[in-house]
Structure 1
Amino acid sequence: MDLDTTGYAFKLHPNNLNFCLNYLQRIISDLGEKKMKEEKIDTQKWLTSAMLWTVQIIDHTALRKSDCTLQLFERTEAVEIVVDLLETILNAEAIFEKRCRENGPSFPEIHSNREDLIEARAKFHQRISSIPPPDRPVIPPTPRYSRIEEDPGLSRLSIIFADQMEIFNENLYGMKTTLLACLGNLVADCEKNQEAATNPPRNGLIAALQCTARPMELIIHNPLTSNWALTAIRNLTVGNRKNKEILLNLNDGPSKIINREKLLNELGVKVTRDDVTGVLRLAE
């Protein structure tokens, strides 16, 4: 594993990778069973940082496909956890946006030296309070993930993440980008992980697609997030007809795809359009 921060290269033992996967599962489980007291902001910060470092280890290991093949590519626990966490962050963004809408123009509280965030807050509240021109569609609130809301552990974790968004914890947004990179690495040339990432109730393809759109103004946006999201979508669809069909059958509005045919073309998914009905179909 190559780490740019240290310059050292080392190999991760499979037992250590098992620990990383079990650690993330245990956090979710303990939150669901209310064994963990996470109300304090400092505890939430520590938890977010620890989860980010753990996901980074999984991501780096996924790049070295010859190492830990059993844990990452012959079993599906890793990609399932990654999709769970990605959908949890997206659900947290919806919770945070709802809080911003309900608590008025002074929410969230921002330190005076963050002029960029103060400006973003003003733009957000101006947007939601003004009537858009007739030629512009109304941007609906970010949708919530019902399966995350119904899961005891993931729902509590999404609340923790939303709390961290209120204090603009950049580690959380680093985790979002890392999860997308990790998803792309885990599903690349691995049909088993491609299937697991989109088997109900999970849908890593829809989650990655949502990450291609710029989030609401008060959510810190890393330009690399969109790039990694497109990479994940590409790796999810290469050689996988089922996942291509998922993209093909999406409604343009809720999925935030402006030009679905253009997106499919950029991903290398060949389609044809029926001359009579105008319906898109896979060409292969």
Structure 2
Amino acid sequence: MHTIWKGSISFGLVNIPIKLHAATEDKDISLRSLHKVCHTPIKYEKVCPVCETELKPEDIVKGYEVAKGKFVVLEDHELEELKKQTEEKAVEIIDFIQLSDIDPIYFNKSYYMSPNEGGAKAYTLLRKALLESEKAGLAKIVMRSKEQLAVIRVYNHTLLMETIHYPDEVRNAEEVPNVPVKDNITKKELDTALLLIDQLTTPFEPEKYEDEYRNRLMELIESKRTGEDLVTPTTKEPRGNVTDLMAALQASIDRTKPKTATPKRKRAAAKKKA
């Protein structure tokens, strides 16, 4: 597994040399943009619209727009100096917390952590301490010129670091438009919705879910590559014109209802009708 970062974890006086490895990977299918006439891949060149010249990397500087059309220019050496001042190649655990206290909206990207040379025993100690205490470590780390918050926990016998957003990076949910404030749901509607949830509840087995679009796209690419005939996929049954919330819920239940209802379910249904 490719190492993307080397450093150490520190908590108290304990220091653990570690390596980071990406825990997830993006499996999106990459498509190139081609010229329709000759099928040549298109180049994306950096051109100054005023000078009308193509720019080389040394011709480009970073800038922060403080007002419309007004920029503060930041030189590369200034950014490098700032990076050196903050980057110590250490993951410093600053607190220990309950993982359940963090809403999933804060989670960003996951990394596996492996012990570097001489760090196996301390790595094992931290792993066991986290398991025994049922806690997670809240840490700070500088990666890619950005200081990030991170959570360190145990996943499948391996230390896992998940970077998390700062509070000011999470947008205010109260600013989402058209969210209903009043609750005008009837008890019958709620009971029917809960029954539907009960029928659809199942243990989470991630291996049974697949990216259907990606699979179909690869089939299309393969059929074109090998010259096979294309097939038309089977279309889903059209949904009924359901305009009532109660009818929509009942229709969903009917679709998921087992062929033979259990006596318990029959009695519950009889009570609801009564």
Q: TM (normalized to structure 1)?
A: 0.20
User: Relative contact order: is structure 1 or structure 2 higher (C-alpha 8 Å, sep ≥ 6)?
Assistant: 1
Larger radius of gyration: 2
Task: Answer 1 or 2: which has greater strand percent.
Answer: 2
Task: Answer 1 or 2: which has greater helix percent.
Answer: 1
